[in-house]
Structure 1
Amino acid sequence: MALVDAETVELSSESRIEILYLNNPETKNSMTVPMGLEFKAHIERLKKNPPRAVVITGKNNIFSAGGNFELLKSFAEKSFETNKKEMFEFYNLFLTVRDLNVPVICAANGHAIGAGLSITLACDLRVFADDGKYQFNFVKLGIHPGMGSSYLAKELFGTEISNRLLFLAETLSGKECRQLGICYDSVPKDEVLQRATEIAISLSESAPMALSELKKNTYDREKLNAALRKEAESQALNFLSQDFKETIKSLEEKRKPVFKGF
């Protein structure tokens, strides 16, 4: 089974949009290295033959539960240097979405947690489900925020909202995200993909070269890469801590962790 599926929507003989589906329902589309490799391969394909716009969503009314538990658990067994290297590489598999010079709309048609919410911020516009749950839960797991979230949240929303999202790790509904300006729109769950597709079609009516140049001038990939390196280093340090071991134990025992600060 493909972990990332693709669908082409032909608008005319010279115009199309592409839909990418995260597709691992058994783990609620949690992010893994194999999924990341497939995701990157699709992005590379689209870079060679760009559509007018791209929509990223999830299959089976699921968006993404974030980092995979087994992957998270494995970090506690690795060295600082190995984790630092592997986390940076892992993040960049999904953040290749920032290398597309066409508009990207995220149709988060369900809960988006941790890294799952991070990938939505790497897109240009977001449509959330009204009753979906959206949360950066990193500090609740005893680790520094990752997948570029420490940079992306501040880049998009400024320090106040970024700190609210990352420090407090609040769980917000899609409606609350729309009110805060975190997403462009929120609609009932079964209408999220349709709404995002409508936006993609609207974008397809604008000049592709103008949109491409606009994207190049909107984002700074080097700053994102620098933030990713800092995140990877901080997380690698956290993975060695007793607090992170407590995180793993508490998840296995289905209880709240009790952190002691070391």
Structure 2
Amino acid sequence: MSPSNLNKYEFLEIESTPARNGEIVSIFLNNPESRNSMTWKMGEEFQTEINRISKLKILPRAVIISGRNDVFCAGGDLNLLRSFSEKTFSQNKRDMRKFYSFFLSIRNLQSPVIGALNGHAIGAGLSLGFACDLRFFALEGKYSFNFVRLGIHPGMGSSFLAPELLGKSLGSRLLFTGETFNGEDAKNWGLAVTSVPKNEVYAKALEFAIYMADGAPLALQELKKNLYQWKSLDKALKKEAASQARNFISDDFRETLTSVVEKRSPIFLGK
């Protein structure tokens, strides 16, 4: 069952692997210059590919999201974040909802989506992994919702997804502190199907996807549709967009940008 390359975007690579009466489609984030960080262009490409998949006559038995370059995703691209600091509150509120929608479009796919977090996943990159239906983690990977340490409210659905998957106490702890956890933690918390060395993560996810392809596709599609609290996530996204829009024009976020250039820890003053 060797994979075949379907298409190549600027920031994505797409592969198809045969499975029982169908295929497994794999989407690889590929931004080698910045550890697969999320750019606006990557988001547009991602949504284009999700739209392509959703219109196929025969839907994939599963979709896998993973990363090239020995990493999953470093979160939002620094240049993109810097551009938000130069916009108005209303512009940021609108653009953040749009940016979220690019990547969270996986929640609208009828096919099950598996996150193969084959390396570090930070901020919005980790949120993308949490938005998947099932997840595989790298034992040595570093994972963090680091939003508050950048002076911004958690985004990309993380304020809903973390408590949904981990419970209120642990989910809130990770959001409030921005602390880092590893693949072993993810396995112990029940967040991962399993955690393995990073060079085995994608292969394990693909093996599992092929096994899952033995299930009845219509039943799996109906199951996915019924698993989620769609309205609750949408409400959380609206609140996140408004909160991040305010944070991006704050002195604290400008301090974050300055500290990155000066290679030091930011000093937040709450204004």
Q: Does 1:230 align with 2:221?
A: no
Deviation at 1:199, TM superposition (A): 1.1
Equivalent of residue 9 in structure 1, options 11, 17, 27: 17
The whole-number CA distance in structure 2 between the counterparts of 1:173 and 1:217 is: 30
Deviation at 1:104, TM superposition (A): 0.8
Task: Name the counterpart of 2:135.
Answer: 126
Equivalent of residue 93 in structure 2, options 84, 99, 124: 84
* Aligned residues between the structures: 261
The whole-number CA distance in structure 1 between the counterparts of 2:68 and 2:135 is: 17
User: Could you report, residue by residue, the CA deviation over 1:45-90 in whole angstroms, capped at 9, with x for unpaired residues?
Assistant: 1111210001110112121000100011111111000000000100
RMSD: 1.0
The whole-number CA distance in structure 2 between the counterparts of 1:222 and 1:33 is: 25
1:233-248 aligned within 5 A: 233-248=242-257
1:23-42 aligned within 5 A: 23-42=30-49
Q: Does 1:206 align with 2:215?
A: yes
State the identity as a percent: 53
Q: Which runs of 4+ in 1 moved over 6 A?
A: none
Q: TM-score, normalised by structure 1?
A: 0.97
The whole-number CA distance in structure 2 between the counterparts of 1:10 and 1:183 is: 24
Asked if 2 retains the 8 angstrom alpha-carbon contact of 1:25 and 1:62, the reply is no
Q: Does 1:71 align with 2:80?
A: yes
Asked if 2 retains the 8 angstrom alpha-carbon contact of 1:238 and 1:244, the reply is yes
The whole-number CA distance in structure 1 between the counterparts of 2:69 and 2:83 is: 28
Could you say what secondary structure the match of 1:233 adopts? helix
Bigger Cα displacement from structure 2, 130-139 vs 55-64: 55-64
Q: Does 1:58 align with 2:67?
A: yes
Deviation at 1:43, TM superposition (A): 0.6
The whole-number CA distance in structure 1 between the counterparts of 2:186 and 2:262 is: 31
Unaligned regions of 5+ residues in structure 2, if any?
1-8
Which amino acid in 2 is paired with 1:116?
Answer: G
Asked if 2 retains the 8 angstrom alpha-carbon contact of 1:103 and 1:203, the reply is no
Could you say what secondary structure the match of 1:54 adopts? strand
The whole-number CA distance in structure 2 between the counterparts of 1:240 and 1:55 is: 36
Unaligned regions of 5+ residues in structure 1, if any?
none
